[in-house]
Structure 1
């Protein structure tokens, strides 16, 4: 096989691999966007029901006493725990 034919063959293979990769990444991105939309709706629902309270941003510090007080007052929500796990994994 000539060098030119070999290069064309390798370029075609590379293009095929790139197309598959980008198709997989596009599908993954679409799934993540759908999950984010669903989680956003759940947060809005929880906020509206009073199960979760959004607070304004606080200054960054090593100690965050308001979070500890909040965690003591509200039982752990399995949806929020799952969301936290997904964020940690991401």
Structure 2
């Protein structure tokens, strides 16, 4: 016996948000994309938690310093990834 469809829910989205969701959904349906994003808010991965911690600190910086810090963090991650790759060999 098949499972009944979950209850539907009418949702009004601003056009710009709907366009962003449509653009980022990849192979997902819009419905699946919204569900996955909502599920992530209840079980965030550690990277998202880390981003939440850093967000107020970044907001306190001006745009130039924010960009510099993000670039430095990206470089640090690249170095970290290289070290991890070497250890796996």
Tell me if both proteins adopt one fold, taking TM over 0.5 as the criterion. no
Which structure's CA Rg is the greater one? Answer: 1
- Structure number with greater CO (CA < 8 Å, separation at least 6) is 1
Structure with greater proportional helix content: 1
TM-score by length of 1: 0.31
